[in-house]
Structures are given as structure tokens and as C-alpha cells.
Amino acid sequence: MRASARSTRWAWGSTWGCPPVPVHRSDAVAFLLAHAYGAQRLVYVKDRDLGTTTVSAAEVRDRGDGPVDPLVLDLMAPAKHVREIQVVNGRSSGALSDAVNGKPAGTVIVA
């Protein structure tokens, strides 16, 4: 293969021939998978304590220091299935079990 043909073949990617880095990070991918499976809510496990509260996605977006990627908050608005996400502290004993069982734990963000 000629050098010019090789360089045009990978013109859509980076200079090393790799595809570009997607804008969806792990939080957004988890949200998209939950939505594709038809889940009503999603539980994120983070390594920081956020307290037990319920806030709207708009409030989290306005504060700018949200526990999830801002793209997730943008995806929540038009989502048909996932209407709330719950963020729990993974270092707290029993927090994930409580969240999965529907008990109050961590921060709940509603669309």
C-alpha cells in the first residue's frame, strides 16, 4: 500500500491511525446501557460521601460540581426509561445494598 493511500485511510482518526476518543465516558455509557435495557433507575457507586438527599438534574447542572458526568444530566432530559439516578458511597458499609433494595441511601438525582 502506498503511503498516501495509507494516510487517507486513517484520516478520520488520530495521527497514529487510531479512532478518535469518544465523548461518552463511563458514567454516560452506564446510563445509555441502563436506558437500552429499559431500567427505571440507575445506581452509581462513587468513592465520596454525598449525603442523603434528592435533587433535580437542573440543580446539579447549575452547581457544576455534580457527582456524574455532565453528559449524563443532558441525557436524562429526553430519556424515556431512566428517570432517576442514585449515587452512593462505595466505602460506606451497606449503602449499595440499601440502594438496590429501594431504601434511602446516597444522593438521588431526578430528571
List pLDDT tens digits, range 2-36: 555 444 444 444 555 666 656 678 899 999 999 99
User: pTM of this prediction?
Assistant: 0.74
Rounded Cα distance between 24 and 29, Å, is 6
Place of cell 457544576: 64
Instruction: State the number of CA atoms in the 13 A half-sphere of 65 facing the CB.
Output: 3
pLDDT band (50, 70, 90) for residue 88: very high
Query: Could you give the dihedral angle defined by the CA atoms of residues 27, 70, 24 and 34, in that order, rounded to the nearest 10 degrees?
Result: 40
